[in-house]
Amino acid sequence: MNDRVVITGLGSVSALGLNTDQFWSSVKEGRSGILPLTGFDNAGLKINLGAQVRAFDPTVHFFSKDVPLLDRYSQFALVACREAIDQAGLAAASLGGAAAVIGTGCGGKETDEATYDHLYRQQKTRAHPFTIPKGMPSAAASQVSMQLSIAGPVFTVSSACSSANHAIAQAALLIRAGVVDVAIAGGTDAPFTYGLLKAWEALRVVSSDNCRPFSADRSGLVLGEGAGMVVLESERHAKGRGASILVRLAGSGMSADAGHITDPSAEGAARAIQAALKDAGLNSQDVDYVNAHGTGTMANDRTETEALHRVFGSDVKSLMVSSTKSMHGHALGASGGLEFVATVLALCEGVIPPTINFTRPGEGCDLDYVPNTAREKDIHVAISNSFAFGGLNAVQVLQAV
């Protein structure tokens, strides 16, 4: 059994850049990756904004023989995993027994939709043979395993917008159970496909002007894409090889609302936060910063604030709470991964990410949301929240080392 799990590598691909340096400089500067949606001219979409990954050329990152079998969501996963493993300083030869737990909310939608278009719209009679191996929800996990020679437990976790946090929690549990010493985990999604955008449009939760979490004039979420991955290790393994430890993953908490398929529950969210703190052996007073789920929808931001009140009581006023989705958008299954990366760096560098586009507090949103400008402050404990559609909640507790 390994009691302590640490983080030794970070990787990201997002609208804020193709690596974690670019991601973190944008977050610190409060720079938004949300721009007018591209690639869907004259498609009749009401969605007009997106935090899309720009200037991403697969041929720069992959052998041309591999590209045809890599859906965009697998490409993001691979680039982020490589970066995290490089930072951790783990040689390929040492990953044979490692785990990879890859979260995704959507899977290979680009591939699926291309085939559906072919069949339904173009009236073709046969599907491309790559449709399943390229588009299946576990394709990214398989590609990570194949390309990085990760040969231990490898699987996909899917819990909509909590996928990455659930994946990281599973990886941590594998380490704590002594099954593996090293794991790569996080989330990836590439949801900018016509059918999926139409489906999001139908939910009427997507903003057509901007993402303004916790703000009175918030008008919904803005979709994003990318991947956020981290290397987890048992502390013993990391210290044994002289690795540079970024933070400790002190605990994870999971809960389900067992309520409604889209309406969030403050009670369910609060139970996930409480479970995470209990797992970490920490009290609510120990927490300095909350990287919020903070989608910018009316329902989430009010409910998440209420959940924080329930858990932190009168201490809630001294908490710093911010939503980096205001910059990298809601990258669905990748969001928790990107937010985990931001939370690790907040602890390492003593810089609290801002909630940008904040004008004035929304009704029921009465906390310190670190509005618009990053704040320099040394912190010791931070939590990162993910609350998915369908009431699936996962929260991480990170502790400075």
Partner 1 sequence: MAMDIETIVKTAIANQKMIDVDSIALETSLQDLGVTSLDAITIVYEVEEICDIEVPNDELESLRSVQDIVAGVHSLLNKKAGA
The nearest distance, CB 135 to partner 1, in angstroms, is 14
Shorter beta-carbon distance to partner 1: residue 65 or 204: 65
Of 42, 59, 65, 376, the residue at the interface with partner 1 (CB under 8 A) is 65
232 φ/ψ sector (left φ>0, alpha ψ -120 to 50, else beta): beta
Q: Is 64 in the site for partner 1 (CB under 8 A)?
A: yes
Cβ pair 375, 346 in contact under 8 A: no
- DSSP state, 374? -
Question: Least distance in Å: CB of 136 to partner 1?
Answer: 13
Q: What share of the chain is helix, strand, coil (3-state, %, to 5)?
A: 40, 25, 40
- Per CB under 8 A, the list member of 1, 41, 60, 126 interacting with partner 1 is 126
Other C-beta atoms closer than 10 Å to the C-beta of 167 total 33
Q: Is 330 labeled as catalytic in the residue annotation?
A: yes
Nearer to partner 1, 115 or 355 (CB): 115
**H or E, element range at 156:** strand 154-157
81 assigned to active site: no
Task: Give the x/- contact pattern for partner 1 in 169-198, rule: CB under 8 A.
Answer: ------------------------------
Piece of 40-48, 127-135, 239-247, 316-324 that binds partner 1 (CB under 8 A):
127-135
Q: Are the CB atoms for 142 and 154 separated by under 8 Å?
A: yes
Q: Report the nearest approach of partner 1 to the CB of residue 65 (Å).
A: 5
With contacts defined by CB under 8 A, how many residues of the chain interact with partner 1? 8
How does DSSP assign 332-364, residue by residue?
GGGHHHHHHHHHHHHHHHTEEPPBTT--SBPTT
- The set of residues, in sequence order, having a beta carbon less than 8 Å from that of 379 and lying 6+ positions away, is 288, 289, 320, 346, 347, 350, 352, 400
| Radius of gyration, alpha carbons of the chain | 20
Active site residue 161: yes
Q: Are strands 5-13 and 247-256 parallel, antiparallel or unpaired?
A: antiparallel
Choose the binding region for partner 1 from 18-26, 124-132, 248-256, 267-275 (rule: CB under 8 A): 124-132
* Min CB(69)–partner 1 separation in Å: 9
Cα of 196 vs its chain's centroid, Å: 19
Pick the catalytic residue from 161, 166, 237, 328: 161
- Please report whether residue 121 would count as binding partner 1 according to CB under 8 A: no
Residue in 166, 237, 293, 328 annotated catalytic: 293
Confirm or reject binding of residue 129 to partner 1 (CB under 8 A): yes
Residue 42 found at the interface with partner 1 (CB under 8 A): no
Which positions lie near partner 1, rule CB under 8 A?
A: 64-65, 124, 126, 128-130, 133
Catalytic residues: 161, 293, 330
